[in-house]
Every structure is written in structure tokens, then in C-alpha cells.
A and B are shown apart, each in its own frame.
Chain A
Amino acid sequence: MKLSMPEMLPATLLAALGGYNLLPAIIFLPTRRRCDQAASEAAFARRDPNVERHEARREFMQGFVAEHPEVRGHRHSDTIIRGGVASHHAGHIPARKLVRDKLMSAGLLDAIFATATVAAGVDFPARTVVLMGADARTGSGWRMLTASELQQMTGRAGRRGRDNVGFIVAAPGLHQDPQRIAELLKAPPDPLVSQFRATYTTLLNLLDAFGNFAQVREIAERSFAHREAAHHITRLEELRFENENKIKTKLQNANCDLSFSVALAFERLVSARARLQEGLPQTRAEVLHRWLSEVVQPGRIVGIGRSGKRLVMVTQRSQGNVSGIREDGRRASFALERIGPVYAPVYRLREQFIEEAFAEVHAKGRELVIPEPRLRDVRTEESDALNLIDQIIESIAPAHLDATKKTACIEALWAAIGEAEAIQRTSRQIESMREEVWQPFERRARVLAALGYVDFDRERVSERGRWLADLHIDRPLLVGEALENGLLASLDTISASATVAALTADEDRDYGELELDDRIVSALARFEDIGFKVATEEWKQGVEPAPEMNFSAAAAAARWAGGADWSTLVNETRAE
């Protein structure tokens, strides 16, 4: 249940918290930009009345700048000294974080504005944690906070040894939801859920280390995600073992010294026989359809209708539909069932040969026609197969046994058929569960093989592959291929920053519409070509291709590298 209220100005919020003695506070805001802005706004609007603390901060900052010259003259020093507030997010240099942590633990700051995404990285506690809503910002939009995330945040409320009580305050916001926050506070902690997945870097490194897929597979099967499946597999293996024993007992009791694998073979023969019988065509139409599906293929000439006078050269066939070219050169498409005679020769599908093809069919006529099958023939043929299976089944019992023992053996095999069937089924299940873990790796291995990083058949990483494994980066294929083609070497600073931004920024994050100059566009275009090549290979192998390049981020980065002022850039783009 939302309780939508206009947000308080940062300084007003601090005044209210101060009135209740709830400072110092960590105030969580959704974006980096808002953190920086809130800190400056608060510093501008409020004046810390405590002159001593003001002076203490100034002194501290002076000492700190002497040690860490990189923060000298930073525009945020003023925010800190004057306002006693600071911002915190992942975009800050280490020295800036250090100064903030030290001031905070010295009790010289009243508030820190931080992004929720770095809640884990906030290791300074405060008396109070403030939330403007129950949502978290993601790359592409908003989602609800999880219980664990809220716990991470409230974990910063209450300083051990310095506070008797810590507070979480839900402050006004357009998307505030006190009920949701109340629920999350009472929720049990979320369980840890595995996010294990196949990556090129892991695959290359492990394959290079072990030199075979089997061991890489063994590592993948040890993942936390696979743990459930692994347990299931163990249970299935136990089941399989039990069934094996049952079969062995049955054979023993029948005084039949066949191994249990014969029982498995027996079951397969029996079930093959059943399938064969099931698949026998029952009507003439079925027989005909089956035969047509076999013989009608591109390059063959067929007659339409029972008379078969109209001839068509087949060019394409999909399931029951056929298309082709008539003698007058016009196209025709029709259903498979309408085909009468089918002529045996397969001609080349070239315009210049078509006329000759038709001429030959006219000249030779019926002698080229493939004979249609008769229902009786088919039945005989397939019952031959059935007979053959029957014979094998008969001969499965050892020849040296006398007739009674033989019969006992065969009967025992029939009696064990349920268990044998169960064993086959269990084995298939085990195989498919193991396949599920391994398949994403195998598909990636095939992509790597297609691009020359892996020799799939020899299960080896190539020289180039070893080099790619050493890069240890996200999206290694794109970068690897680009390096291979000398693309990065040819870039100047600005194009290089633009390219890196395009590759690393979230695909769907919008940084506004700045213009890109031609040089950068052509550099990015060459990257896109490579990206296309990689993605094509990935599609082919069933691997989800990496996200596309973010041109909007490229433009923003190019501006920045070109010397644009940060605050101008922030205003022009939606960079956060």
C-alpha cells in the first residue's frame, strides 16, 4: 500500500531528524546523482551551529589533504566542512571514502547520503537509517527491496558501544510504502540461492588447467545450484542399484546364469518390437503418405493428380507442402497428397537444365516412374523385422541349456522386464540432469572452438585461448576478437573511452542523446561488426549473446574524456 508524499528537502529532513536527536543518519537514495545533489543542497541550506565541530572538521580536512593530495580542492570538501554531510556511492575515489569514514567514526558528520546498491559497502554505522521508499533501482528500472537488502541497510543503524538504540525511519517519498517496509522488517531472512552459470573465462581456465572436458564437467556438477540435482541423482542411482539386484535375484532363482545386462538387452529388444508393431501403417493412404514423404525431394519431377499429366519439378518441400516449377516456367505449390507418379532422376536445380529434365521425362515416360509401394509389401517387410527380433529374443538364452532350463531363463527375463524398464528410465533421467549442468558449458566450448580458442575434439585450449583465459574479463570474446584484429591499438584516448563505455555500460541504461563524432562512430562500427560475428556464432550454438553496445554511454564518456566539465555533463546526460 503506497503512501505517496512529496519528498522533504534534504536540509528539512536533517532538521527534523535533529529535532528528535536522531542524528547522525545514513540516508539511502536511489541514485548516485541524487546522493551528491542532496549532500550539496543540505550543506548549502543548513549551517551547523556547533562551531567546535565545524573547526574540528576543517582541521581534520587540512591534515588529511597533506597526506592525500588527490582530495585537495575537491568540491565536496566544502560540503563536508560547512554542512557536516557527505555522499557515498560506488563512484568515489578511495581517499574520499577514507576521509568520510574517519570523520564519521570521529562523530564529526551528521549525515551521509548513500545509494542503496552500496549498502553492503557502507561500513560506517550511524544512529539512524532513513529510507524514502521500499524500492531499489536496477539497471533498467525499479523493483522492490528484498528482506535481505533491507537488513543490510538497517544493519548500519545503531553504533555498537555508542548507541543504546538504532532507528530506521521511513521518510516521505513519492513511492513510500510503510506497510511494505514493516513487512520486510519482520520477514525471515531470504535463503541463499545459487546463481551459478557457465562463463567463457571459467571454461577456458578450467579446460586449460585440466586438459579434458570431463574434469571441467565434474567441477560444474559441484555447484550449489546442482546440489539438489546431485542429491536427486544419488537417489536415482540407489534406485537403479536396487533394481539391478532384483533382476539378479530373479535370474538366480530361475537357475539362469545370465548377467543382468542381458536382461537390459532383452527389455530393449522387447520394447523395440512393440514400437515397430505400433508404427506399422494400417491403411493404404498411410502407406502412400509415408512413401511420398520419402521420395519427393527437390530436383525430382512429379506428376500432379492421379493422371499425372501435369509435370512439376520440385524445388522445395516442407512437411506436407510442396512447391516447384511447371513446364511453362510458372511456380506452383500443392499438397503432398496430390502427387501421382514420381520420377526417379534427381536433376540439378538450374534454369538451364530444367527444360532438358522435362524433355527426358517426356521421352522415357513410365520407365522412370518409381513404383508405388503396396500395403502387402510393407507389411511383409516390417513383419520380417519383427520375425528377426523374435529370433534374437529366442536365441538370448544360452544354447547349451536344455529346453526346460531355457524356458525358465526366458520366463525369468520376462519377469524382470519391469525392473529393466525402470533402470533404462532412471539412466535417462540421470543423463538428462547431468546434461542440464553441462550443456551451457558445452555450447560455449563450441563457440570458442568456432572462433579458434579451443580445439573441441582434442579438448585443448589453443594458444589464443590461453591468452584469452589470462584476460579474466567480462565479455572476453568481444574484447579478445577486437584485440586480435588490432582494433584497440588504433584508438585515440577519446575513442578508447567511448568504446570502453559502450562495452561496459548496462545495455538499457540511457545516458541521453549526445552526438558522436564520425571518428568514434566508425570505431564503434568496427566493434559492432565483431560483436555481430561473435553473436552469430553464439546464436548458432544456442548461447544467449552478450548485450549490445550502449552508444549513449559512449557519447557521454567521449564528452568526459574530451574535457567536458563534470556538472555540465551531468546536466546534459542522465549519467548518475
Chain B
Amino acid sequence: MTNVRRSHGKGAGKARRRENKPSRRKAGQQPLRSTPKVSLADPPRVIAQSRDVQRLLAGIGAPPPTVFKPDAFQLEALAALEFEDVLVTAPTGSGKTWIAREEIRRLLAAGRRAWYTSPLKALTNSKYQEFIEEFGAERVGILTGDRKENTDALLIVGTTEIYRNQLFDSLRGGGEVPGRLVVLDEAHYLADEDRGHVWEEAIILTPPRIRLLLLSATIGNASEFAAWIEDVRGVRCGVVTRPGARPVPLRAAFLLPDKRLMPLFNDAGRLNPEIARMAETTSAKPPRSPRRNW
């Protein structure tokens, strides 16, 4: 996984660079140009660019519109959910929520219940809004510390703490937590120093008859995590990882106070030597100015 992800940073860049390589001049050997000036009142205009920057920015812009087609990993996760718990690890923005939404859609159509938990109230609120637009207000409720609406709805969106508290209540009162599916969004919060224990408790206490769908950022030990879930719940837990790195490739740049932009990495994938040189010269005389205290 790691290798694929890494290669994306430089490999993709290399491929791109090969396409438009007029000269083989190395980064950092570029002659310095005079700084283009942009005043505040000026309308944005394209700043004169060095070849390095041209390459850095090549291809910037919007792709032609395409019809949405789910990725293979999304379909794989959805299929696996029929038989087992699923841990999905993928970078943000690669469509983890889509998997949850489609599974919820299937359950709601069959009149079944589901829980969707997220770590932050703000996220919970926007998911609530999103699901209302998707499934209709009568089918979605919200439960956070501040907000309780339509709590008998088939789909409940709430914070992980509230879900864990419901598990406590049902253990104490003998009642059952209703539902077929619990989605734990941002499941990597398990490693949060203050609140992480709540995620563990939620996973340990969720009855095995309820399917767990865990959506996590990329983590280094996904299979170990899934093995633990299997141990404590006695239910198989599959791992679905998005192959390749990000859905949209990432390039890194460094901006100078004079508004010059330069690539953060050179062709070899190392720190741009020009930046390294600058850091060396300035670190010789560290500035005494304190951090802005506001």
C-alpha cells in the first residue's frame, strides 16, 4: 500500500514530466528571476512562470465532466457488507461515504434501521443535512449533545459518544439496540487520546448481529485492527483498501514571501535543493521575533 501511495507522489509526477520535457535542466539550477509584483487591488492574473513552475502547475484545472461510476473498491466493500463487518481505509475524499450511503439506501428500502456515527457535532450536522436531502426528512433523525430530532427515524445520525451511551442504556435496561447496520465514520478516532476509548467501547459492545462498517483514514495497521475486531466480536471483518493513492493526484509546492512558487520536491523526489539552501542560510541567524500571540 505504502509503496503505491508513495510512488504516486513522484512516479506520477515523473510520468507527467516526461511528457513535456523540453530540457533536462535540474530544479534548483534555474536562474532567479525578478519577482513579479501583484498589488492587492489587481485582478488575479497569471504570474510569469519559470519552467519549473510550469511543470508544477501543468494540467491544473477541471477535467471534462464524466458520468459518476463507482470505483472497484467501493463495490467490493458494498458486496462484502452482505456477509461480514467491513473496515474501509482510504484517503479522505475518495468516496468512503458513498459506500455507507448505498448500504443505508438498501436497508431503508427494506424498512430496516441503521445508525451513522461521526466524531464531531459539525460533521454530524452536515451528514444529517446530506441524508435528509438523500432519503427525505421523515426517514432521518439526529442525536447529539445539542440536538435531538426525529429520534424514532429509521436512520439515526449522531456522535459516537451518544451511540456508545445507547449501548450502555440497552445493556442496563435489557432492551436491544435496534438496527442492522452501524457506520463508524472517521474510525481512526480510536487513536484519539481523550476520546478514543469511546470507539473501542462502541466496537466491543455492539451486538454481533449488527453489521459494523468502519470508515477510516489510511492507517498503518489496518489488518491488525480488523483482526482485533474479529476477536472481540466473533464476526469476520474484511479490510477494503483503496488501491493506488488518492483519487486526485497531489503535488507539493513552496511559496516565498515575494510570491515566487517552487516545487517542494525535485525530480528525484527529494526536497528541492534551492529550498534546502534557503533554510540553511536563514537558520544561521534565527529570528528572535516571538510567535504572534493572537
**A: which residues have CB within 8 A of B?**
1-8, 11-13, 15-23, 31, 33-34, 37, 45-47, 49, 90, 92, 94, 97-98, 101, 118, 120-121, 123, 125, 127, 130, 148, 151-152, 154-172, 174-175, 178-179, 181-182, 185-186, 188-197, 199, 202, 205-206, 208-210, 219, 222-225, 227, 230, 469, 472, 574
Contacts of B205 in A (CB 8 A): 219
B278 touches A161 (CB 8 A): no
Jot down 28 A-B pairs with beta carbons below 8 A, ordered by A: A5-B282, A16-B38, A19-B45, A20-B47, A31-B294, A33-B294, A34-B292, A37-B294, A45-B40, A148-B217, A152-B92, A155-B92, A160-B95, A160-B248, A161-B65, A163-B63, A165-B251, A166-B250, A169-B252, A170-B252, A174-B289, A178-B271, A182-B264, A194-B190, A195-B192, A202-B168, A205-B172, A472-B165
A166 touches B248 (CB 8 A): yes
Contacts of A13 in B (CB 8 A): 255
* Smallest CB separation, A1 vs chain B (Å): 5
A190 touches B95 (CB 8 A): no
A120 touches B200 (CB 8 A): no
Whether, in the assembled complex, B75 has its beta carbon less than 8 Å from a beta carbon of chain A, the answer is: no
* Smallest CB separation, A348 vs chain B (Å): 52
Contacts of A167 in B (CB 8 A): 250-253
Contact partner of A123 (CB less than 8 A), chosen from B126, B194, B275, is B126
Most central of B41, B46, B201, B280 by chain A CB within 10 Å: B201
A120 touches B248 (CB 8 A): no
Contacts of A168 in B (CB 8 A): 250-253, 264
What is the bound-complex CA distance between A168 and B252, given in angstroms? 5
Cβ-closest chain B residue relative to A100:
B126
Q: Top 8 A-B pairs ranked by shortest CB distance? A: A155-B92, A158-B248, A18-B44, A195-B196, A191-B220, A209-B171, A205-B168, A19-B47
Contact partner of A469 (CB less than 8 A), chosen from B5, B172, B249, is B172
Interface with A: B19-27, B116-124, B176-184, which one?
Answer: B116-124
* Smallest CB separation, B165 vs chain A (Å): 5
B283 touches A1 (CB 8 A): yes
B271 touches A20 (CB 8 A): no
A46 touches B252 (CB 8 A): no
Contacts of B70 in A (CB 8 A): none
* Smallest CB separation, A328 vs chain B (Å): 62
B255 touches A1 (CB 8 A): no
Whether, in the assembled complex, B136 has its beta carbon less than 8 Å from a beta carbon of chain A, the answer is: no
Interface with A: B76-84, B100-108, B224-232, which one?
Answer: B224-232
What is the bound-complex CA distance between A135 and B25, given in angstroms? 34
- 9 further A-B contacts with Cβ under 8 Å, apart from A18-B44, A182-B270, are A5-B256, A6-B257, A12-B40, A15-B44, A94-B121, A97-B126, A161-B63, A182-B252, A206-B171
Contacts of A171 in B (CB 8 A): 255
In the complex, per-residue mask of B175-213: 1 if CB is within 8 Å of any chain A CB, else 0: 000000000001011111110110011001100000000
Contacts of A33 in B (CB 8 A): 294
A174 touches B190 (CB 8 A): no
Cβ-closest chain A residue relative to B146:
A94
Contacts of B41 in A (CB 8 A): 47
A19-B38, A97-B125, A158-B93 as given contacts; A224 in contact with B220, CB under 8 Å: no
Cβ-closest chain B residue relative to A34:
B294
What is the bound-complex CA distance between A531 and B250, given in angstroms? 51
Most central of B120, B200, B205, B275 by chain A CB within 10 Å: B200
What is the bound-complex CA distance between A154 and B294, given in angstroms? 25
Whether, in the assembled complex, B14 has its beta carbon less than 8 Å from a beta carbon of chain A, the answer is: no
A121 touches B120 (CB 8 A): yes
B120 touches A472 (CB 8 A): no
A191-B220, A197-B197 as given contacts; A178 in contact with B254, CB under 8 Å: yes
B250 touches A157 (CB 8 A): yes
